[in-house]
Amino acid sequence: MRSPWHAPLSRRTLLGSAGAGLAAPLLGAPVPARAAESGRKRIAVLGTVIFEYSHTQHILDRLAGGYSWRGAWRAPRLDVASVHIAQFPEGDGDKQKPDLGRQRIARYGLKSFPSVREALTLGSEKLAVDGVVIIAEHGDYPRNAKGQTRYPRYDWFKECVKVFEDSGRSVPVFNDKHLSTEWGECAEMVADSRRLGFPFLAGSSLPVTVRQPAIDMPLDVPLLESVCMCYGGVDSYDFHGLETAQCMSERRRGGEVGIRSVHALKGEALWTALAGADRDVTRRLIVAALNRSHNLPVEGGWVTAPVDFDWARRTLADSTGYLVDHRDGFRTTMIMGPLRDFTYAGLRSDTGEIVSCLMHLPMPQYGATTADFFHPLTHHIEDLVLEGREPWPVERNLLTSGMVIGGVESLAAGGVPYATPGMDIAYQAPRRSTFWRD
């Protein structure tokens, strides 16, 4: 099944790195696995580790136990047929939180397998599930000098592909967050999905969570520039910030065409660059995005000065920013600082209007207990398997994965622009809104 969003991915690097191109599907359209006696579709969940507030805990709890949806409780629409949990740390796990892996397996009566292949085949010779969910985030994995953690997203995905090839059929796959730490691997993953013809979904919870106000960027609007203001670190929350901006930017006139370079800067070097004569629009959008925040960092419980660019430069002095140049002249700016919200602002060149909103992301350390921004992401995972379609093009996640890699490389090189000649990823945004709007 070819993605309805498919467009030429990369006219050079993607095809070369994948070694296969986007030929007709090798295995044809996905053939559903034989469902359980209930007739419900079954999935395999692959997770690195489970502890409180980990991504595997959030998503597995919803897939196996249900979640709130539009004013009612929604029971799971799929059956979790198997799990493969890679790590069960003794005592305190990742981030000093107790391991919950065995407890969750027992709670839901899940079938646990020691390998990816066995989880997909249910211990048999061939693929025996209708979908795969890969959640390779958190856990004890190697971290390189650039600050990248080598989670097994790519490795597990390739194991799934091998099972698909050996079985003569394929099923939908969801990959949590960005695709990999190497551009060639990211490109290969998308090319594999197109070659074998299975729907492939990836990405962050930010594009699908509640927005305040509940707006979407109009399709085919002449958009000049986008900004996301957020918090977090390199090779982690930078991906969330870039997805926040990209889910709006991709709706601009002509669609997405890919990026030319990423320039990552920190501290005073960032604010000096943003103060330049060619960054007037960027500064206006930074201020607009900040003024959508519900949790600005202030002393004494109240803002005592106008939240303008000078305020941002003082208050967010130690921030890290990615300045992304797109191939059509469009700009994306993502700034991570001592903030507590993810906010977006974009400028329409036809009306001069700034479109801005807050992306709802209440974090546990700030008082939230349920992390309900995972509800809509789980809903889309279920739809992926039940309907056999991608609710948004995975090319978005390929491109934002490349933006993260570009930012990491730029910082590692001392804050010089990192050219991305192979990231000419062209695609069209979905016509139907995918964010959570009751």
Matching residue, tokens 């305190």? 92
Domain endpoint, select from 321, 349, 366? 366
Matching residue, tokens 């890919």? 258
Considering the domain architecture, whether residues 214 and 281 belong to the same structural domain is answered as: yes
Helix axes 267-274, 280-290, angle to 10 degrees: 110
Considering the domain architecture, whether residues 240 and 359 belong to the same structural domain is answered as: yes
Who contacts 258 (Cβ-Cβ below 8 Å, separation ≥6)?
A: 10, 326, 327, 399, 420, 423, 424, 425, 426
Domain of 47, in residue numbers? 13-207+372-392
Closest among 119, 17, 15, 101 to 54, alpha carbons compared: 101
Would you say 153 and 136 are in contact if contact means Cβ atoms under 8 Å apart?
yes
Does 435 fall in a domain? no
3-state secondary structure of 366: helix
Would you say 361 and 305 are in contact if contact means Cβ atoms under 8 Å apart?
no
Considering the domain architecture, whether residues 171 and 237 belong to the same structural domain is answered as: no
pLDDT at 4: 47
Does 419 fall in a domain? no
Omega before residue 213 within 30° of 0, cis: yes
Considering the domain architecture, whether residues 235 and 126 belong to the same structural domain is answered as: no
Would you say 45 and 83 are in contact if contact means Cβ atoms under 8 Å apart?
yes
Domain endpoint, select from 349, 366, 383? 366
Would you say 50 and 104 are in contact if contact means Cβ atoms under 8 Å apart?
yes
Does 126 fall in a domain? yes
Element (H, E) at 406: helix 394-412
Considering the domain architecture, whether residues 291 and 171 belong to the same structural domain is answered as: no
At residue 303, what is the residue type?
V
Helix axes 374-387, 55-65, angle to 10 degrees: 60
User: What is the distance between the alpha carbons of residues 58 and 67, in angstroms, rounded to a whole number?
Assistant: 10
Considering the domain architecture, whether residues 351 and 266 belong to the same structural domain is answered as: yes
Does 158 fall in a domain? yes
pLDDT at 436: 81
Considering the domain architecture, whether residues 258 and 111 belong to the same structural domain is answered as: no
Does 124 fall in a domain? yes
Handedness of CA 147, 152, 154, 155 (dihedral sign): positive
Considering the domain architecture, whether residues 83 and 99 belong to the same structural domain is answered as: yes
Considering the domain architecture, whether residues 194 and 227 belong to the same structural domain is answered as: no
Number of domain units in the chain: 2
Closest among 352, 343, 345, 395 to 222, alpha carbons compared: 352
Q: Over its length of 438 residues, how does the chain's per-residue pLDDT go in tens digits?
A: 444 454 445 444 454 444 333 333 444 334 344 444 568 999 999 999 999 889 999 999 999 999 999 889 999 999 999 999 999 998 654 545 799 999 999 999 999 999 999 999 999 999 999 999 999 999 999 999 999 999 999 999 999 999 999 999 999 999 999 999 999 999 999 999 999 999 999 999 999 999 999 999 999 999 999 999 999 999 999 999 999 999 999 999 999 999 999 999 999 999 999 999 999 999 999 999 999 998 888 766 677 789 999 999 999 999 999 999 999 999 999 999 999 999 999 999 999 999 999 998 866 555 545 568 899 999 999 999 999 999 999 999 999 999 999 999 999 999 999 999 999 999 999 988 898 886
User: What is the distance between the alpha carbons of residues 222 and 219, in angstroms, rounded to a whole number?
Assistant: 9
Considering the domain architecture, whether residues 47 and 168 belong to the same structural domain is answered as: yes
User: What is the distance between the alpha carbons of residues 76 and 378, in angstroms, rounded to a whole number?
Assistant: 10
Does 92 fall in a domain? yes
Closest among 370, 206, 231, 220 to 297, alpha carbons compared: 231
CATH code assigned at 74: 3.40.50.720
User: What is the distance between the alpha carbons of residues 132 and 8, in angstroms, rounded to a whole number?
Assistant: 26
Considering the domain architecture, whether residues 186 and 203 belong to the same structural domain is answered as: yes
Q: Which residues pair with 131 in a beta bridge?
A: 43
Domain endpoint, select from 351, 366, 381? 366
Would you say 229 and 238 are in contact if contact means Cβ atoms under 8 Å apart?
no
Does 407 fall in a domain? no
User: What is the distance between the alpha carbons of residues 144 and 77, in angstroms, rounded to a whole number?
Assistant: 39
Considering the domain architecture, whether residues 20 and 165 belong to the same structural domain is answered as: yes
Does 397 fall in a domain? no
Token reading at 376: 């809509």
User: What is the distance between the alpha carbons of residues 243 and 203, in angstroms, rounded to a whole number?
Assistant: 8
